[in-house]
């Protein structure tokens, strides 16, 4: 129903709460929680379970230990948990980059996904110290998006850039630059960026986790985007 989160975002909230309760990140404890959550009926109402979940539980059903069930998944859905980890332990935690790499690699062993996760951490850490979002994107994500590319795209509507020049699908080589572009273009205007991301279609939920986290890290979200979310009391309660 309206206001509910899709599966990966629900799992990100579960991870956020688990870290806040324990005071630290523990990969084994998370895997136990993840398996329990996924195997308990009615934990979520999502009609779609992303590929990496299906591969993980195929391996789990074959007898593998959870720590060995991840696969080389190349989708931007692997980044959804990154902002949750940063929110739970802080962008300036001395081991934040290592923790994020450990967590993402539990399910997404693809090097490009892991690289994108590290870039996202570095940008969020940079803006937490007061850096400008656009400058941080250009500095930390130069291998994904450049000032020259953004200049070439500036006269195109978002839906031409994301969905035309760049694919709107979930695959990280286009999905992550698309998210960075939308965050760059709509810096300081989170409502515009979040709504535009949705209108671009494709894998907008997972791409939106990146766009939303970057925009919200530097500008407050309008209350109208927060009030209707089912999970708001859970998140604000922590």
Q: Where along the chain do its domains lie? A: 7-236
Structure tokens at 102: 């450990």
**d(Cα 209, Cα 162) in Å, to the nearest integer?**
16
Q: Which CATH architecture has domain 7-236?
A: Orthogonal Bundle (1.10)
Q: Is the dihedral of CA 147, 151, 110, 46 positive or negative?
A: positive
Q: What is the pLDDT of residue 236?
A: 84
Q: What is the pLDDT of residue 14?
A: 98
- Give the N- to C-terminal CA distance of the chain in Å, as an integer: 24
**d(Cα 71, Cα 53) in Å, to the nearest integer?**
10
Q: What is the pLDDT of residue 151?
A: 96
**d(Cα 61, Cα 56) in Å, to the nearest integer?**
9
**d(Cα 195, Cα 197) in Å, to the nearest integer?**
5
Burial of 54 (0-12, 13-18, 19+ CB in 10 A): exposed
Q: What is the pLDDT of residue 8?
A: 98
What residue ranges of the chain have pLDDT lower than 70?
A: none
Q: What is the pLDDT of residue 104?
A: 99
Q: What is the pLDDT of residue 171?
A: 98
Q: What is the pLDDT of residue 85?
A: 98
Q: What is the pLDDT of residue 235?
A: 86
* SS3 (DSSP) at 114: helix
How many helices and strands in the chain, by DSSP H and E? 13, 0
Q: What is the pLDDT of residue 237?
A: 76
* SS3 (DSSP) at 162: strand
Q: What is the pLDDT of residue 58?
A: 99
Q: What is the pLDDT of residue 1?
A: 82
């Amino acid at each position: 129903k309206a206001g509910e989160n899709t599966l990966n975002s629900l799992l990100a909230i579960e991870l956020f709460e688990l870290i806040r309760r324990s005071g630290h990140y523990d990969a084994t404890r998370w895997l136990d929680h993840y398996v329990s959550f996924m195997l308990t009926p009615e934990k979520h109402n999502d009609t779609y379970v992303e590929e990496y979940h299906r591969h993980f539980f195929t391996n789990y059903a074959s007898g593998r230990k959870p720590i060995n069930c991840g696969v080389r998944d190349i989708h931007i859905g692997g980044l959804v948990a990154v902002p949750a980890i940063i929110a739970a332990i802080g962008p300036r935690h001395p081991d934040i980059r290592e923790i994020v790499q450990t967590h993402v690699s539990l399910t997404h062993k693809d090097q490009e996904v892991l690289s994108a996760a590290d870039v996202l951490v570095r940008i969020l850490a940079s803006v937490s110290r007061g850096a400008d979002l656009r400058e941080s994107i250009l500095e930390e994500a130069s291998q994904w998006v450049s000032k020259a590319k953004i200049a070439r795209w500036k006269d195109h509507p978002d839906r031409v850039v994301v969905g035309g020049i760049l694919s709107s699908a979930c695959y990280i080589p286009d999905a992550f630059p698309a998210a960075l572009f939308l965050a760059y273009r709509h810096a300081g205007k989170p409502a515009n960026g979040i709504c535009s991301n949705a209108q671009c279609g494709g894998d907008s939920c997972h791409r939106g986790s990146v766009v939303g986290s970057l925009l919200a890290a530097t500008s407050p979200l309008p209350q109208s985007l927060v009030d209707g979310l089912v999970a708001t009391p859970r998140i604000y309660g922590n």
